[in-house]
Amino acid sequence: MAHRWGMAVDLDKCTGCEACVTACHAENNIPTVSAEQAARGRAMHWIRVERYFEGDFPDVRVKFRPVLCQQCDNAPCEAVCPTYASHHNEDGLNAQVYNRCIGTRYCANACPYNVRFFNFFNPEWPKPLHLQLNPDVSIREVGVMEKCTFCVQRIKAAKTTAKAENRALVDGALQPACAQSCPTTAIVFGDLNDPNSRVARLARSPRGWKLLEDLGAEPKITYLHKQPWYESDAQ
Amino acid sequence: MKSIYGLYTDPHVAQRAVDNLRAAGVTDAAITVISSEPFDHFEFGHRDAKTAMPWIAAAAGLVGLVLTYYLLGASQRSWPLVTSGMPIVPNWTNLIIIFEMTMLSAILATVVTLLVTAGIPSRRGKMYDPEVSDGYILVGVENPSDASKLEPALAIEGARVKTTA
Amino acid sequence: MNRTLSNKQLTDDLVRPVFNTSVWFYAVVFAAGTVVACGAVAWGYQLWYGIGLSGKRWPTFWALYLTNFVFWIGISHAGTLISAILRLVNAGWRRPVTRCAEVITVFALMIGAMFPIIHLGRPWLAFWLFPYPSAREIWPNFRSPLAWDFFAINTYLTGSLLFLFLPMIPDFALIRDRATGWRRTFYGTLSFGWRGTTKQWNRLESAMQIMAVAILPVAVSVHTIVSFDFSMANVPMWHSTIFGPYFVAGAIFSGIAGLIIAMAALRKALHLEHYLLPLHFENLGKLLLLMAILWGYFVFNERLTVWYGNEPHEMAVFWATQRGAYAPLYWTMVICNFVLPLAILMNPYTRGIIGCVVASTGVVIGMWLERFLIIVPSLTHKQLPYSWGTYQPTPVELLIMAATFAAMILLYTLFAKFVPIIAIWEMKAGLPSRMDQSVLDEERLQSTRLGSEPLPDAIGQGGAQR
């Protein structure tokens, strides 16, 4: 049966430590940019922790959530790419084909979650950081769009190994870098098509909601939060 | 190439010259009128107006429409990729490209028809006089059977009549 | 038309720039050429170091280059309106204006079509938008508005180029007959051996008629498809059904403004005072007024709907333009596009050549601002507030933008030098001596009502004067 990779992010457990951000950078060879370029908005964080501050001192409340590519089933970023660099693959992921991207950046505009990032310059890794690069992930050149792939290199490796060993994938064994590094296991990854997987059960939780659900993009990440996100929804 | 022609400044006089040529027995197809501007309001100006050009343009547009429809479908099926949940062959969005290619086909067919029927680019050796560019209207006959008979027909109101050998 | 206008004088006047070159020509070409060269260097710099030299950033992935793209494609709608629509309704006053307008269309399209390449991250792969059978059997994604752009702009460019070039052939033949030396060979080749037989004239006019009919829907579709680049994305205040007609109306609006400025410049530079009459500016000024009112109508429609709907995502963008960071630009745009044109053009006393040029300059600035204000405020205020951002253009972007304006001036000047900017045969065909009495009476009635110079008195007078 085909897989349908999804994720559940438990905001009640998330501490905002950003270990997921760091792990993602390390796993996916995401370039870091200079301080000046970051100030100009060129930083690339495939997963980011959004922070919102509400109220005035001393009643300040902080809300935060990790936001990454929602791998939407009805992704607005796919139809607008003129070269098919962004399309839907059989596992339900939104595939970004670096070699096919000519950098029109329409997909980034169409994405309501703003989870797509662009290589404005050729990435550089000052020595000896180049030794830390992950050999399983290609490096993107200038002019190419990139975003969270649910660590597709790990998915592919796991599927290949399972096929070679003639067995099914074990739920929880395959994890993207962010889920693997989260200290509170707030990020759960798995196959939504398997009704017994953790992520499928969490997706059915009454605490679950989807980000910008009314836009109809059908995101596959379920956020779990006991308190309503918006004050106006509080009972 | 032999020819005989008269140069006129007034289109009304040119019209009389054409009528005179017809009276002298020259067929319409053999009468050539050359000018540096179109004379739609005069009979000699719109005698070869009938053309199938609009039909050719419409037919070419239709061909472009059908060809584009099939090409789009074939290319989209050759590597079927799902994007935003749209069908592999989405007719609504294909319609836009089909429209553009239809119009392009019609336009290109019109231009090709123009070049072919107007005979341009043309080889040299046809009847012409550069004085046409100064505003004269040239009325004449190429390869006339009897040039001397045509001279009085053309020499009206003091117009110059020239012959080429 | 001037009462002393004769066939010969007309030809002499309009062909003179082709044979005589003034020092101003060299000055303008040098100045504009320098700016274009600087822009080319800037673009080379950007190609080498990366598109990051522009001011684009997360989340403003489209900014100045796309603004200029839409702006120039908009300017290109000048020619279509004048040439095609006025030709189809047989408006005689279009004759001196046709070629000026069509030239703007072709060059504006060429310049506009450069911008999608300039703004690409990897422009050397732009040819993937072209539907060719590749070895991997992959084609462009025809569902993408950018693929539609490719087809629409190329169709319009091809159509406009042909629409411009075909009626130039008889004028090339005319110059060929008067020229000697290299000019004779040059124009001789370009004239394709045109003689001017009645058959050739009839075929040319049929072709022009068909192309006028064909190019109108193409022009409407082009700017609609450009608007689809925005309306197809679910971005607040982009995803609006009004964008199609709004953009087309805006394009015609900016096109007429561009045309008025070009005509005023030509009139001065080439001494065409007897051909580009106050009547022409009057008529175009009225059209500009109409389009200004139409523009106001569309903006009111769009904004009232957004404000009334009070949807939070859209209202964030709405307030950013009305009262927030973009308010100065927004209100400048409203003054330039609506207040100024209405004030100048509603009054017949201020609707002269200078008034029209002032109003048009305002419109050109205002319409550029409108494109900018459609793109940037929406992108900087999308659905998730954490992703809100800013935008600031960089010198590279501004230099390339300045170079495109210089390129327009350069191309236009070169064109006016090598080709008669007013179609000589069309003017001759419109002379009183060549026309029907009924057409003459109508024109005389029109011109005396407007108080401009009256027409020659009798038919046949033009032809007899040699």
Is B107 or B119 the better-scoring residue by pLDDT?
B107
Give the domain CATH number at B143.
Answer: 3.30.70
Cβ contact, residue pair C379, A109, below 8 Å: yes
Which among C370, C109, C344, C137 is positioned nearest to C218, based on CA atoms? C109
Cβ contact, residue pair B82, A84, below 8 Å: no
pLDDT at C386 over 50: yes
Whether C123 is in a domain gets the answer yes
Report the domain count for chain C: 1
Residue C337 near residue C362, CB atoms below 8 Å: yes
DSSP labels for A154-173?
HHHHHHHHHHHTT-PPPTTT
| Residue in B79, B81, B84 nearest the CB of A75 | B84
Share of chain C above pLDDT 90, in %: 76
DSSP labels for C361-412?
HHHHHHHHHHHHHHHHHHHHS-SSGGG-------HHHHHHHHHHHHHHHHHH
Domain limits for position B143: 3-48+126-164
pLDDT of C466 reads: 29
Most confident of B41-50, C128-137, C404-413: C404-413
Give the domain CATH number at C48.
Answer: 1.20.1630.10
Q: What is the mean pLDDT of residues C404-419?
A: 95
State the CB neighbour count (10 A cutoff) for residue C37.
12
Residues B41 and B61 in one domain: no
Residues B35 and B88 in one domain: no
Which residues 81-100 on chain B approach chain C with CB closer than 8 angstroms? 81, 83-84, 86, 90, 93-94, 96-97, 99-100
Whether C61 is in a domain gets the answer yes
pLDDT at C284 over 70: yes
* Distance from the C461 Cα atom to the nearest Cα atom in chain B, whole angstroms: 9
Residues B65 and B110 in one domain: yes
Domain boundaries, chain A: 5-228
Residues B66 and B94 in one domain: yes
Which residues 106-165 on chain B approach chain A with CB closer than 8 angstroms? none
Cβ contact, residue pair C159, B119, below 8 Å: no
Share of chain A above pLDDT 70, in %: 97
* Distance from the C231 Cα atom to the nearest Cα atom in chain A, whole angstroms: 10
C-contacting chains (≥3 CB pairs under 8 Å): A, B
Which residues on C lie below 8 Å from B36 (Cβ)?
170, 173-174, 196, 424-425, 428
Residues B60 and B81 in one domain: yes
CA B21 to chain centre: 23
Whether C134 is in a domain gets the answer no
Q: Give the pLDDT band of residue C454 (cuts 50, 70, 90).
A: very low
pLDDT at C153 over 60: yes
Q: Give the pLDDT band of residue C442 (cuts 50, 70, 90).
A: low
Whether C116 is in a domain gets the answer yes
Residues B22 and B70 in one domain: no
Cβ contact, residue pair C126, A67, below 8 Å: no
Tell whether B78 lies on the interface with A, counting CB pairs under 8 A. Answer: no
Tell whether B58 lies on the interface with C, counting CB pairs under 8 A. Answer: no
Tell whether A171 lies on the interface with B, counting CB pairs under 8 A. Answer: no
pLDDT at C462 over 50: no
Residue C464 near residue B157, CB atoms below 8 Å: no
* Phi and psi, residue B150, nearest 5°: -80, -20
pLDDT of C78 reads: 83
Helix (H) or strand (E) holding C322: helix C312-322
* Phi and psi, residue C367, nearest 5°: -70, -30
Which among A192, A105, A208, A190 is positioned nearest to A151, based on CA atoms? A190
Q: In this predicted model, what pLDDT tens digit does every residue of C187-216 receive, in sequence order? A: 999 999 899 999 999 999 999 999 999 999
Report the domain count for chain B: 2
* Distance from the A193 Cα atom to the nearest Cα atom in chain B, whole angstroms: 18
Q: Report the residue of C225, C374, C384 to disrupt the A interface, i.e. the one with the largest count of A CBs within 10 Å.
A: C384
A195: DSSP letter? T
Cβ contact, residue pair A50, C50, below 8 Å: no
CATH class of domain segment(s) A5-228: alpha beta
* Distance from the C364 Cα atom to the nearest Cα atom in chain B, whole angstroms: 28
Give the pTM: 0.92
pLDDT of C321 reads: 96
pLDDT at A84 over 50: yes
Per the prediction, chain B carries an average pLDDT of: 90
C-alpha to C-alpha distance for B107 and B58, rounded to whole angstroms = 9
| Tokens (6 digits) for B86 | 């749209």
Tell whether B80 lies on the interface with C, counting CB pairs under 8 A. Answer: no
Residues B17 and B31 in one domain: yes
Whether C321 is in a domain gets the answer yes
Whether C461 is in a domain gets the answer no
Interface confidence (ipTM) of the complex? 0.93
Tell me if the bond preceding C59 is cis, omega within 30° of 0.
Answer: yes
pLDDT of B26 reads: 87
pLDDT of C436 reads: 55
Q: Give the pLDDT band of residue A178 (cuts 50, 70, 90).
A: very high
Q: Which residues pair with B162 in a beta bridge?
A: B5
| Residue in A73, A79, A84 nearest the CB of B86 | A79
Q: Report the residue of C198, C425, C431 to disrupt the B interface, i.e. the one with the largest count of B CBs within 10 Å.
A: C198
| Residue in A81, A100, A122 nearest the CB of C50 | A122
C-alpha to C-alpha distance for C231 and C64, rounded to whole angstroms = 18
Residue C193 near residue B124, CB atoms below 8 Å: yes
pLDDT at A168 over 50: yes
Alpha-carbon dihedral sign for residues C183, C185, C191, C194 = positive
Whether C459 is in a domain gets the answer no
| Residue in B81, B85, B86 nearest the CB of A73 | B85
pLDDT at C450 over 60: no
pLDDT at A59 over 50: yes
Lowest mean pLDDT among A165-174, B14-23, B40-49, C257-266: B40-49
Q: In this predicted model, what pLDDT tens digit does every residue of C179-190 receive, in sequence order? A: 889 999 999 999
DSSP labels for A109-125?
HH-TT---EE--S----
pLDDT of A81 reads: 96
